[in-house]
Structure 1
């Protein structure tokens, strides 16, 4: 056993002396390889179409002679009762004419104080919003028969 132990020691020294096969007289180089992992492919998200923007209607405003703001807006109104049409959007304004109940009035604007600007026989007049309605009177389809009678 001493012999085998001695043999192992001698072989160990032989390997150590030779440097495990390393010879310092021969040029050697060390190559370092940097390894980066391959990135995983991320799925491209689906493109959601952008809805078309609905254009906001432009609100046009004007003013009466007395400075009341009028939103330009066409429509049809009917006189709910006998109605005075005035030169401005005020009960104190000059009386232009009176119309019978049910008369069709073509609106060209709505005033901020509740009055309605109308075109009556080619003349700009104002009617109090308290005495007009958007509902046609019974007995006529559009109230035009009443307007014709009022003009006679």
Structure 2
């Protein structure tokens, strides 16, 4: 069995956002997933080598003034050109912790990943409004979906 690499790049500035990232990791680490290894980094820690080594990426960001976090933008600024020709077609998923509607954040991330020619494996998960416990289950499901799809060779 060939091992596949799942990179999770998540901005976690608060206990709530950390709990969302932890849920994604929990889902992606499900006991039935056999061939997927996880690498979890903050946007400041992750770099082009992490992206180039990945078979799929899950991005997590907060909504900041209607835009992605500065941390995720910094990650893209450092990774865009080194990854542009080397990661086309990379499967990715996105989750957003949005105090408002997440529309601007989603659009900003989608603009960059479109330029990178990455492929969305599902619609972005937008955890809107006041923090609710159901966000944790949704993030766990997202992690499980991406890792299981990678494990099964579907993505």
Larger radius of gyration: 1
Higher RCO, Cα 8 Å, sep 6+: 2
Q: Determine if the TM-score, normalized by the shorter chain, exceeds 0.5.
A: no
TM (normalized to structure 2)? Answer: 0.21
- Give the strand-richer structure, 1 or 2: 1
TM (normalized to structure 1)? Answer: 0.21
